Chains A and B, each alone.
Chain A
Amino acid sequence: DVKVTQSSRYLVKRTGEKVFLECVQDMDHENMFWYRQDPGLGLRLIYFSYDVKMKEKGDIPEGYSVSREKKERFSLILESASTNQTSMYLCASSPDLQRVSTGELFFGEGSRLTVL
C-alpha cells in the first residue's frame, strides 16, 4: 500500500515563527501536493511538484514556499507564520497523472497547525 507520511499531526506555533511541514511518500511517485483544508472552503491547493526541484503554484501560494530536493520528500515552509495560516495541511502524492489509467491522489493523515 502507498504510504504518505506527514511529520507532525499537531503543531502550535507563534506568529512570526518559521514553520516546516514535512511529507514523505514511499511509492516513487513523481507528483506531490500540499493542500490546506478549512471549514466551508474544502481543500485548496497551495503548491505542487511534478519532479525533483520542480514546483508550481496552486490556488493559494501566498505566504508559503516549498522544497523538493529528493523525489520522496516534499516540504512546505511558512517563512513567517500568521494566524490566518491556522489550518489543516494535507500532503498528497500521485503517479504520473498523464497516464489516464491512474490519476488518484494518496493523502497523508494531515497536520493541524495552530498559529497563536
Chain B
Amino acid sequence: DAKTTQPTSMDCAEGRAANLPCNHSTISGNEYVYWYRQIHSQGPQYIIHGLKNNETNEMASLIITEDRKSSTLILPHATLRDTAVYYCIVREYNAGNMLTFGGGTRLMVKP
C-alpha cells in the first residue's frame, strides 16, 4: 500500500503560489513528512521536511494538518524553473534509513 497519495499533475501560473497537496492518512506518530523535487534529467533535490509544525525555508513552506493526515507544499512565487516532479514521502522512523518515493506530482509552471 502506498504511504502517500498525490495528484499526478498540476499547472501553475508563473509568479503565483503553487500549492501541492499530499495525503498520508496512515502516518504514525514518529514519522516525518519530506518533500523532494526532481527537475528533468537531474537527481532529486531535497526541499523541506516536518513532523507536525509548519515549516518554512528559502525554497518553500510546508503546512501539515493538525491530524497529520495530509500536508501541502507551498512555493510562494513559482518560476519556470520550478517545473519538476514533486515527491511527498514519509520516513519510517523504525525502518533504518529508508526513504521510499511514490509517483509524485508533475508541476508545470506556465508563463
Contacts and interface: CB of A to CB of B under 8 A. Distances in A.
A, B bound: yes
Interface in A58-116: 58-59, 90, 92, 94, 97, 100, 103-110
Nearest to B96: A56
A25 interface: no
Contacts of A41: 103
Contacts of A94: 97
A38 B101 CA distance: 12
B100 A59 contact: yes
Nearest to B42: A109
Interface in B34-75: 34, 36, 41-46, 49, 51
Contact of A104 (B34, B51, B87, B96): B34
B97 A48 contact: yes
A106 B45 CA distance: 7
A106 to B, nearest CB: 7
Contacts of B100: 43-45, 59
B43 A103 contact: no
A35 B101 contact: yes
A90 B98 CA distance: 14
B104 A42 contact: yes
Interface size, A (range): 20 to 34
Contacts of B34: 103-104
A107 B43 contact: yes
Contacts of A35: 101
Nearest to A35: B101
Interface string A39-53: 011111100101000
A23 B32 CA distance: 27
B21 interface: no
A36 to B, nearest CB: 11
Interface of B: 32, 34, 36, 41-46, 49, 51, 87, 91, 96-104
28 contacts: A33-B97, A35-B101, A42-B102, A42-B103, A43-B44, A43-B100, A44-B100, A45-B98, A45-B99, A48-B97, A50-B97, A56-B96, A56-B97, A56-B98, A58-B98, A90-B44, A100-B51, A103-B32, A103-B49, A103-B91, A104-B34, A104-B49, A105-B36, A105-B46, A106-B46, A107-B45, A110-B42, A110-B43
